Structure 1
Amino acid sequence: MYLKLNSFFVYGLMFFCMSLIFLFFGVLAYAYMYTYFLEWILMSINSYRIGIVFLFDYYSLFFMGVVCLISGSICLYSSSYMMNESRKFYFLLVIIVFVLSMLMVICSPNLISIILGWDGLGLSSYLLVIYYQNNKSYNAGMLTILTNRLGDVMILISIGWMFSYSSMNYFIYLYYYMANYDYNNFMLMMIILAGMTKSAQIPFSAWLPAAMAAPTPVSSLVHSSTLVTAGVYLLIRFSGIFEVWFSEFLLFISGCTMLMSGVGAFLEYDFKKIIALSTLSQLGLMMGALSLGLVNYCFFHLLSHALFKALLFMCAGYMIHCMGGSQDIRMYGGMFHNFPLIMISFNVSNLSLCGFPFLTGFYSKDLILELLMMKEMNVLSMFFFFFSTLFTVMYSLRLMMFLLGSENNFFSYNFVAFDKLMAASIHLLLIGSIFGGSILMWLLFPFVHPVIIPLSMKLILSMNLLLGMFLSILFFFMKSFNLGMMSYFLSLMWNLPKISTDMLIFPSMFVMKFYLKYVDQGLIEYLIGKKMGDFLMNMSHSMSMELTGKNFKVYLFFFIYLYLMVMMLMIM
């Protein structure tokens, strides 16, 4: 057991070292604009070579560095958080499988190796969600893996289309597109749908809050900063060839996702679900920036969001751990008196999520919103972005007021003492949440990008922040605030969980259920399964007896049946 506990620490240090190496080479790759292709030939059969290709540019190196940094912090955090778990070593192994799968998705330009890492992400995510092995986790795990399986099917269809381009590397497809040769919009649509499923865009959003049934370190690593951004990263690779209607479609979907998650988080009382819905809102912002052609800024926000959102989940997990597992924020209060250092980290990450000036989230989020105002956009798209930003401020400040209340609402004491190792891993990411945005901006944008907008539009962002703070305080102290059935509809993510889980919503699902019950498990099971089984049992029994007239009829019937089946197969 001692070795298993130390293994968290060893792998955490290993991930930290890998993070430093990747970030160092990422800076060099960006400074000199280098792109490296490494091909490893596994076998050669005549003129056909089977190998693995790795792509290392500043996109992949920076992203792998951030993933390893967060993974190392999670390993240190889990060494104390999972101390009393009986299957902690199994938990560590699945985390390692997840990280390796994520690295394969990031550094591979080949769709076949991408689907291997993509499937590894889905499998490891499922195993981590069902870790506690209760009905809630089983249901959440099934919803998670089935939704992500849709994205796997889309990539498999894209692999089939890629056979016509003589290579599985997507750079070949980009070359065909740029050179105005034969290209396929259907394949690009499959890639967009795959990215939407992994990044939980509407109508595939129900699995992300449901996946909060996993342990909190899993939520911090998998469902906030790495797994859910794999879809965004895949679309970044294909973003240079988006058609106009692809961009408009993705812009509308991302706007609806931002609005739905922002309103749902404001009406939610579950601690982890609020943070999960905030992740969904930021994913919508990334997709919206990507649809408008702001690829580098989308990648910038992807990295900065990973830093402060992982810290936000780790602080939430620490408080849940110390409060006996309670996740209802109405039972919290006076947390600053109990956890002053943890609450400082939590407030910094929460303000960074709001886009508070000069924190990590400010540099990417404010820049994206200002660049959006320079684009030719309609009123509906502007409404989506700024109204969603307003709700981000509202639910973030509402969460802070519940936690920083003057008195404890339920618990009078902490169940778990202060843990130094968990606090150290939290404070390590605190540095990234404060200085990470400015450092990444200096590295990714060494030259000043001019933002030319009127002063009134420049002040909209500040007014949006102040208005969100005012409305949050107003609704917090308004005890009679109630929207009735509308509140129920908005808090349930526009009934997306019901649509994702209830088979009777669509007629096609009802037909499938009818076929499964009365045909596949009914008539066919009775005729082929039971009757044929009885016939074979009688035939095998008769083979042990002497050949009589009655048995001869049995054999004759069997060979006629076998002959007809073979003829039908030949005709088909």
Structure 2
Amino acid sequence: MSICKIYFYFFMFLSINFFFLSLFFLTLEKSFFLELNLMSFNSTSIVYVVFLDWMATLFMSFVLLISGVVTKYSEEYMKQEKFLVRFILLVVMFVLSMMFLIISPNLISILLGWDGLGLVSYILVIFYQNVKSYNAGMLTALSNRIGDVALLMAISWMINYGSWNFMFYLEFYSEDYMMKWIFNFVVLAAFTKSAQIPFSSWLPAAMAAPTPVSSLVHSSTLVTAGVFLLIRFNIGFSESLNKFILLISLLTMFMSGMGANLEYDLKKIIALSTLSQLGLMMTILALGDSKFAFFHLLTHALFKALLFMCAGSIIHNLNNCQDIRFMGGLSKIMPLTCIYFNICNLSLCGFPFLAGFYSKDLIVEIFSMGEFNFFVYIIFYISIGLTASYSFRLLFYTVSGGFNYISLFSLSDQSKIMLSSMGKLIFLVVFMGSILMWLIFPTPFFICLSFTMKIMTLVMIILGGWIGYICAKINLSEVKNMSFFKSFLSNMWNLPVLSTYGINFFPLYSAKIYTKTLDQGWMEFYGSQGLYKGLSILSKWIQLFSMNHVKIYFILIFMFILFMFCLMI
């Protein structure tokens, strides 16, 4: 049995167990808190804390399920890879880091998983060793390091409370000045991990990783770590901090939706859709409804994992071509993959009675019942319309029309391992939304809205789909006087320029000047080279003395006698 199948069965076994454990915690309203004393030194104890409640166990169940399916999928997708075992072990390390993060109510042990995610994600992004991957890996690692530092600052501030088990302090100390600083650092850490503005540029760059990794990263690990951390800390957030999170998340939703409508890279479009959905989770989280954010986190994990797997299957068949303009007519050639792809896209849009509908529609209706200004409503609903827009544009380019790739190229749905892996998720994408709704929210919500507001979501989805179709038909890149507008939006409001070139330019330029003037200039002349020359001359003199010591001895005696003779006269 291959290593992929071993880990697949292992992950699936753990996933089922954690799912039933979450049902146990959910129905009995219980949680499990365990302190493991690792070491005691005088009066100090080093303790590892494990906290299991229905939320942690359910999330772990989904992470393990998707990880299991992805490892099996990798067996076919990465079969030409020489170091497949190394790749699978890295994925296992990635999942293990996520587990550490989920079960930790302690900031120190959270950092263990948090840093593990950052390190392993860097290794996985640079897995295909080329310049593009190295650049993307450095951008990913350095962006996440900002969050790591913020978390370290939060840890140092929590020394004032005598313990790092933050769950004991959130409600009681929420008005405390120092705890507000801790909340600010935690929000900064979550923004870097979940790629909110201004840290959004690393998410599309991380597409340099293999597609199975993208499937795992963008569904249930890494990017969702920031949202999950905020769900844990959400109780103590002040109103002003929630408003700030709301503004940033709305702008992220809008920016990523606009960018996805002008992008032609298949994986980048799906990556930007992840960014949009993360913005949606953060938005509802900022309104104080952490359960809704968690609900959408789980449903999104299912259809996004499958969406990436379908994209990977298409890319694999097209000999690693990711440009959607070379696709088209795939429904005739790869019917089963396209069916899965369409269902996931419709679920992403919030099509009625698919998994995405139950979470997304509920979030939008709860949002519509709130009292907000006009700007928030407009941005929120436009962002929902943009989701449908880029989804239908993607379907138009890939599924419909004629085949645009090399005519001699032969495509088919013959990869049984990949299709069986995707088939395991498709039933969950269709049915899991309703099941989770019954489990997490057993009591129905009373939503009181006018007819206009009630059908607003459906109207925006239909309108967005129509706009996406028009965008695909017109091909915006060919429209005159659109170059600046297109480059601004497709470059994510120039965030990659600001976060890479904008930050790197001055340090690199000053380093160049320093190297020329000091390292290779006067510093070199008077420093290392000057010192080397001086020591060389000195050593030659000493060597001369040591090699001719008899002559020098007699010369010195002669000079001494001469000196004495002069004194006597």
Which of the residues 173, 176, 192 maps onto 1:197? 192
Closer, same or farther: CA 516–377 of 1 in aligned 2, 3 Å: farther
Moved more, 508-517 or 108-117: 508-517
Q: CA deviation at 1:272?
A: 0.3
Gaps of 5+ in 1: 549-572
Match status 1:53 vs 2:49: yes
Closer, same or farther: CA 537–372 of 1 in aligned 2, 3 Å: farther
Counterpart residue identity of residue 252, structure 2? T
In the alignment, what sits opposite 2:344?
Answer: 349
Q: CA deviation at 1:450?
A: 1.2
Partners of 2:539 and 2:39 lie apart in 1 by 48
Equivalent runs, 1:170-319 vs 2, <5 Å? 170-178=166-174, 183-319=178-314
Partners of 1:211 and 1:70 lie apart in 2 by 19
Deviations 1:498-530 (A, max 9, x none): 111114688688667766775688777776665
In the alignment, what sits opposite 2:439?
Answer: 443
Partners of 2:329 and 2:180 lie apart in 1 by 55
For the 8 Å contact 1:324–1:415, the answer to whether it is kept is no
Match status 1:489 vs 2:465: no
For the 8 Å contact 2:259–2:489, the answer to whether it is kept is yes
Closer, same or farther: CA 507–139 of 1 in aligned 2, 3 Å: closer
Which of the residues 28, 33, 40 maps onto 1:32? 28
For the 8 Å contact 1:503–1:513, the answer to whether it is kept is no
Which of the residues 66, 71, 79 maps onto 1:70? 66
Closer, same or farther: CA 511–419 of 1 in aligned 2, 3 Å: same
Closer, same or farther: CA 46–463 of 1 in aligned 2, 3 Å: same
For the 8 Å contact 2:234–2:290, the answer to whether it is kept is yes
For the 8 Å contact 2:67–2:216, the answer to whether it is kept is yes
Q: CA RMSD for the aligned pairs? A: 2.4
Equivalent runs, 1:448-487 vs 2, <5 Å? 448-479=444-475, 481=479, 483-487=482-486
Partners of 2:43 and 2:60 lie apart in 1 by 34
In the alignment, what sits opposite 1:94?
Answer: 90
Moved more, 230-239 or 465-474: 465-474
Task: Specify the SS of the correspondent of 1:160.
Answer: helix
Closer, same or farther: CA 241–523 of 1 in aligned 2, 3 Å: farther
Task: Specify the SS of the correspondent of 2:173.
Answer: helix
Partners of 1:156 and 1:529 lie apart in 2 by 39
TM-score, normalised to structure 2, is: 0.90
For the 8 Å contact 1:29–1:35, the answer to whether it is kept is yes
Equivalent runs, 1:278-427 vs 2, <5 Å? 278-412=273-407, 413-414=409-410, 418-427=414-423
Deviations 1:328-385 (A, max 9, x none): 1011111111111111111000000000000000000111011111111111111121
Partners of 2:363 and 2:296 lie apart in 1 by 8
For the 8 Å contact 2:333–2:413, the answer to whether it is kept is no
Moved more, 417-426 or 72-81: 417-426
Which of the residues 10, 14, 18 maps onto 1:18? 14
Deviations 1:218-256 (A, max 9, x none): 000013431100000001111111112111111111111
Counterpart residue identity of residue 277, structure 2? Q
Closer, same or farther: CA 514–108 of 1 in aligned 2, 3 Å: farther
Partners of 1:220 and 1:29 lie apart in 2 by 29
Moved more, 12-21 or 463-472: 463-472
TM-score, normalised to structure 1, is: 0.90
Deviations 1:421-453 (A, max 9, x none): 110000111111101111111110011111111
Closer, same or farther: CA 76–511 of 1 in aligned 2, 3 Å: same
Counterpart residue identity of residue 400, structure 2? G
Task: Specify the SS of the correspondent of 1:126.
Answer: helix
Counterpart residue identity of residue 216, structure 1? T
Q: Which has the larger radius of gyration?
A: 2
Partners of 1:34 and 1:531 lie apart in 2 by 74
In the alignment, what sits opposite 1:553?
Answer: none
In the alignment, what sits opposite 2:501?
Answer: 502
Q: CA deviation at 1:414?
A: 2.8
In the alignment, what sits opposite 2:567?
Answer: none
Counterpart residue identity of residue 267, structure 1? L
Partners of 1:196 and 1:311 lie apart in 2 by 25
In the alignment, what sits opposite 1:568?
Answer: none
For the 8 Å contact 1:321–1:416, the answer to whether it is kept is no
